[in-house]
A and B are shown apart, each in its own frame.
Chain A
């Protein structure tokens, strides 16, 4: 009962502080009025009566204070007092406070950002019901996530471990709602896609397996919530409307719920279309080809089935497929992967990289804590007299410790909040960032409650950790000794925990600086490396003729007309056309057999080569060097024998050497016998970090494709040129969706991974450098302040500047040198990993290594500058007088 009353009083004081104050004030005023009434009745004038009443009441403020205490607000009161005092103390040494808060803010901020990214990409499952047992099926040793449609059908119908399996694929298409055609990004999905995932429509309905009745039988589209808002202004009347998809009529069935962004984290689609309509969407259909692998397969495991059991079940099907279709399926195996990042294809590197970042970020936080610990310890030593005095005057140790802890926690909170605020700004920007122009590639990495909780917890934890570091000092302090002698006695250990922490921290910093230098240098070299084409002074136009309704022979005619139109622009030196330029997203490849092959199963292939279909003129426009033979001409058409240009790697793989490749033959299948007429230089095709790939270039007239990228070479100003090109193309066909950009811009997608790695490492490197500066600064400042008197005496006795510096800062520099050296070695080791992500990142680069050494030296000088000034400025007279 009493406890209850106490708690009620406590809680009401806690939450209704001002109301309680007001009430108390009113009660005291009422008291004084009553007293004044009485005095008035005894004959005093009202004014005098009130004055007397006030005086009689006594110390207003004191009673109020006592009343407060009896109201149980006591604990909070002292806490607030501590907080006020701590703020005052921190305010009085702004240098220390700012360094401490910034140090922590960087540590916490870096962790909040990296943790959010990890949360978005790795920890948080896809936003679908029961995501924990959702798996993707991958094939073979190289974990290819792409499967053929017939394989999908077999897997779907023969497995015993999945509830159901859905297949999907990512593709662009042209959508015309009546005015302007534009490109939409879509998922071609099996009919059961939404049912497998358990997603309910926000509006209208979804398509189902029962809607599929063979090729092009399901002209339906489902809109994503975002696209419905941006393109249709959230109009609920869109359901049932007919729109033109690649010039074919499609009915809008419904709208997906707001939170559903598809099943790939990086790729949020605008619309979903049934995959049976692949031919209309992509211009061709591989639904019947067992060897054409382009579908991603996902599904929920049945309850009670383990992933291992499911894998065994899948491999039973793999054995069946290998036996039944020996031509297409040679020794295939299946395994499971987590969905969301195109299986392990992107998932593997992304997970490794983000985990690495997380490790570095936590190292940074650790370094920040170590840093703050030594800062606080140094401060506690400086304040030992104040502490001793307070203890001597009767303050309890508990109270002093509470005070110190309060300061630490306040710094932690301020740093934590600043760090989170900075992190949120960065994350907001990241969430809206679209690294690849004109594509729906982005990741929502907005922090959620979990991130805030983790960050605040980290802040509080680090506050407690570094707040507790000076505690030993205070507990051991003998106030009598300290007040008498002036400072705490030296307890000489040669290597302290703080030294070790500092070395660790400098090492981390050096690793980060080394990695970021190497990455930046690698990126710079990449931009000037040999791609096998020259992106400078070249423009690209992406146009899909399917979307504009061109079919069959019309396509080739239109392609030629576009190239001719480009050539007619003044200042254009060369123009050509390719189905998909190298180093863009995606590629297609074919298996190549020797001319004399008879058995066309995959295991007999000479190699698998990347294929391009080009119009004559492409080789010149791309700036690729022809090493031998002839280039393609307009005579290499349907009626002429099949020919191709190949690169040196192709010649090496198929013919043994590039020297005599021209004139030789190879086969793609039994019927397709192709002669090599020219030899091209090697280049980069899929990614910048790939091993050298074989490549072949076919005349588009012999191997038709509706995908069209115009390549235009000119030294004119890109903007003017783009306008001229735009004008020409609209003249040709006003209804053609296309986009114009420089080739360098298109390469952004190829350079994406390197750039992200470089930026991330750069930021972490700068953070590490800042922490090293504050760490060395804290240590050096502490060393100088502790030995101020000794230095003063030395100076008085005639010590030279060099000797003073050596005495005061020698240790800091030794630690710096040791840490930097260790960090440099570790950094060189770490760059081997880096080379996987960043093209041409090599530690054997004198400029990068010199840069690291110079940076560390500069950091050391910067950090010791102020303490050095203080050491040299030690005035013996002042010091001796003070003591």
Chain B
């Protein structure tokens, strides 16, 4: 687990929104999904997930409801709201722009200047 990347501040919310956009998830499911879709590259401290989830609920980007998990346990499931979907789109676009810019910048060669 040593080669996992530290997530950048501010990206956790985006990751959660993305994970939940693929289907309703409970908290632990969000962790697993993020690990899965990032190819096990991004790992989130388990306890740190919840303050972020509550924050997103408070901002009206997620809704939560109790249900039963695949393990047959009671769990709280999170779903994206319309606002959340919109936010995911703009944030993803912003991130992509940044990523492209960063990649371009880092790929720059002396002869290109």
Is the beta-carbon distance between B75 and A63 smaller than 8 angstroms?
no
Is the beta-carbon distance between A2 and B47 smaller than 8 angstroms?
no
Q: Does A883 contact B (CB under 8 A)?
A: no
Is the beta-carbon distance between A56 and B46 smaller than 8 angstroms?
yes
- Against B, the Cβ 8 Å flags (1 = close, 0 = not) of A42-61 are 00000000000000111110
Contacts of B73 in A (CB 8 A): 30, 33-34, 37
Q: Using A34-B26, A35-B46 as known contacts, say yes or no to A26 and B60 having CB atoms under 8 A apart.
A: no
Contacts of B50 in A (CB 8 A): 24, 27-28, 31, 63, 66-67
Is the beta-carbon distance between B51 and A60 smaller than 8 angstroms?
no
B88: min CB distance to chain A, Å: 15
Contacts of A28 in B (CB 8 A): 47, 50
Is the beta-carbon distance between B28 and A67 smaller than 8 angstroms?
no
- Against A, the Cβ 8 Å flags (1 = close, 0 = not) of B62-104 are 0000000101011110000001000000000000000000000
A75: min CB distance to chain B, Å: 14
Q: Does B42 contact A (CB under 8 A)?
A: no
Q: CA A31 – CA B53 in complex, angstroms?
A: 13
Q: Does A9 contact B (CB under 8 A)?
A: yes
For B51, give its contact among A6, A33, A56, A66 (CB under 8 Å): A66
Q: Using A5-B58, A6-B58, A70-B58 as known contacts, say yes or no to A35 and B51 having CB atoms under 8 A apart.
A: no
Please list the residues of chain A having a beta carbon within 8 angstroms of any beta carbon in chain B: 1-2, 4-6, 9, 23-24, 26-28, 30-31, 33-35, 37, 56-60, 62-63, 66-67, 69-72
Is the beta-carbon distance between A35 and B58 smaller than 8 angstroms?
no
Is the beta-carbon distance between B60 and A30 smaller than 8 angstroms?
no
Contacts of B69 in A (CB 8 A): 30, 34
Is the beta-carbon distance between B46 and A2 smaller than 8 angstroms?
no
For B58, give its contact among A9, A26, A56, A66 (CB under 8 Å): A9
Is the beta-carbon distance between B47 and A62 smaller than 8 angstroms?
yes
Is the beta-carbon distance between B54 and A71 smaller than 8 angstroms?
yes
Q: Does B48 contact A (CB under 8 A)?
A: yes
A-B contact pairs, 14 of them (CB 8 A): A1-B60, A2-B59, A2-B60, A5-B59, A6-B60, A9-B58, A27-B75, A34-B29, A59-B47, A63-B51, A66-B51, A67-B51, A70-B54, A71-B54
A77: min CB distance to chain B, Å: 14
Is the beta-carbon distance between B46 and A31 smaller than 8 angstroms?
yes
Is the beta-carbon distance between A1 and B58 smaller than 8 angstroms?
no
Q: Using A2-B59, A30-B76 as known contacts, say yes or no to A70 and B46 having CB atoms under 8 A apart.
A: no
Q: Using A58-B47, A67-B51 as known contacts, say yes or no to A31 and B28 having CB atoms under 8 A apart.
A: yes
Q: Does B24 contact A (CB under 8 A)?
A: no
Q: Does B57 contact A (CB under 8 A)?
A: yes
Contacts of A4 in B (CB 8 A): 60
Q: CA A37 – CA B48 in complex, angstroms?
A: 20
Q: Using A57-B46, A67-B50, A69-B51 as known contacts, say yes or no to A34 and B71 having CB atoms under 8 A apart.
A: yes
Chain A facing B: main interface SS: helix
Please list the residues of chain B having a beta carbon within 8 angstroms of any beta carbon in chain A: 26-29, 45-48, 50-52, 54-55, 57-60, 69, 71, 73-76, 83
A34, A59, A72: residue with the most chain B Cβ atoms closer than 10 Å: A34
Q: A4-B60, A30-B73, A57-B47 are in contact. List 17 more A-B contacts (CB 8 A).
A: A2-B83, A6-B59, A26-B74, A27-B76, A30-B28, A31-B26, A33-B73, A35-B46, A37-B71, A58-B45, A63-B47, A63-B48, A66-B51, A67-B51, A70-B51, A70-B55, A71-B58
Q: Which residue of B lies closest to A56 (CB)?
A: B46
Q: CA A234 – CA B5 in complex, angstroms?
A: 84
Q: CA A23 – CA B59 in complex, angstroms?
A: 19
Contacts of B58 in A (CB 8 A): 5-6, 9, 70-72
Q: Which residue of A lies closest to B32 (CB)?
A: A38
Q: CA A37 – CA B71 in complex, angstroms?
A: 8
Is the beta-carbon distance between A34 and B47 smaller than 8 angstroms?
no
B49: min CB distance to chain A, Å: 8
Q: CA A151 – CA B83 in complex, angstroms?
A: 82
Q: Using A1-B83, A2-B59, A56-B46 as known contacts, say yes or no to A30 and B26 having CB atoms under 8 A apart.
A: yes
Q: Which residue of B lies closest to A30 (CB)?
A: B75
Q: CA A69 – CA B54 in complex, angstroms?
A: 9
Q: Which residue of A lies closest to B45 (CB)?
A: A58
Q: Using A33-B73, A34-B69 as known contacts, say yes or no to A60 and B26 having CB atoms under 8 A apart.
A: no
Q: Which residue of B lies closest to A71 (CB)?
A: B54
* In the A-B complex, the 9 residue pairs with the closest CB atoms: A5-B60, A63-B47, A34-B28, A66-B51, A70-B55, A58-B47, A70-B54, A9-B58, A70-B51
Contacts of B27 in A (CB 8 A): 27, 30-31
B53: min CB distance to chain A, Å: 8
Q: CA A653 – CA B82 in complex, angstroms?
A: 101
Q: CA A35 – CA B35 in complex, angstroms?
A: 14
Q: Which residue of B lies closest to A3 (CB)?
A: B60
A13: min CB distance to chain B, Å: 9
A9, A23, A24: residue with the most chain B Cβ atoms closer than 10 Å: A9
Q: CA A63 – CA B58 in complex, angstroms?
A: 16
Contacts of B60 in A (CB 8 A): 1-2, 4-6
Q: Which residue of A lies closest to B64 (CB)?
A: A27
Q: CA A56 – CA B47 in complex, angstroms?
A: 9
Contacts of B48 in A (CB 8 A): 58, 63, 66
Is the beta-carbon distance between B47 and A60 smaller than 8 angstroms?
yes
Q: CA A59 – CA B47 in complex, angstroms?
A: 7
Contacts of A37 in B (CB 8 A): 71, 73
Contacts of A27 in B (CB 8 A): 27, 50, 75-76
Q: CA A675 – CA B33 in complex, angstroms?
A: 121
Q: CA A277 – CA B47 in complex, angstroms?
A: 89
B20: min CB distance to chain A, Å: 15
A349: min CB distance to chain B, Å: 64
A19: min CB distance to chain B, Å: 13
Q: CA A35 – CA B83 in complex, angstroms?
A: 30
Q: CA A56 – CA B60 in complex, angstroms?
A: 29
Contacts of B76 in A (CB 8 A): 23, 27, 30
Q: Which residue of A lies closest to B56 (CB)?
A: A70
Q: CA A35 – CA B50 in complex, angstroms?
A: 15
Q: CA A398 – CA B46 in complex, angstroms?
A: 36
